[in-house]
Structures are given as structure tokens and as C-alpha cells.
Amino acid sequence: MTAQTDTLGPVTTVYKVSGMSCGHCEGSVSDEISEIAGVSSVKAAASSGEVTVVSAAPLDEAAVRAAVDEAGYELVGQA
């Protein structure tokens, strides 16, 4: 375990996602990421390609990547 696991309070992470172009895209990505355990809020913005995720603890990037892939888009990485 690392010191990062001792984080208190919600964690906000911004990810870059390629391929989103409309509100439907935002909804698809948000819905899939919302399924990850510990996620309390997801806000996707097609105009910037950014997805802001609030979670109880830092998320495993592989889980976020899998959720974005399931929605049909590509996770570029953290913004």
C-alpha cells in the first residue's frame, strides 16, 4: 500500500477521451464509468474531450479504460 490510499474525502480525476462528439457520446461514457465501484459523479464534455470523475478513492486506470472502451471510445489518459 502507498500513502495515496490514505486519501481522505472524494478524489477528482480528469481524463481525456477521444471520439466523443455529442451529448449521446457524453452519456454513453458517463454511464459506463458510473458503473465502476466508488464513483459518485461523472461529467463528460464532448467539446473538450474531458471526463471529470469524482470517486471515493483513486481509480484503477485499467478499469476506467475498460469502461470507456465498452462505451465505444478511447481513453487517452489523465488530463
pLDDT, tens digit (0-9, with 9 covering 90-100), for 14-63 = 999 999 999 999 999 999 999 999 999 999 999 999 999 999 999 999 99
Terminal-to-terminal C-alpha distance of the chain: 25
- For 42, the grid coordinates are 461523472
Model-level pTM? 0.88
pLDDT, tens digit (0-9, with 9 covering 90-100), for 60-79 = 999 999 999 999 999 999 98
- Residue 6 has a pLDDT of 54
Strands (E), 1-79: 11-18, 39-45, 50-55, 74-78
- Domain extent listing, the chain: 9-78
9-78: in CATH 3.30.420.130: no
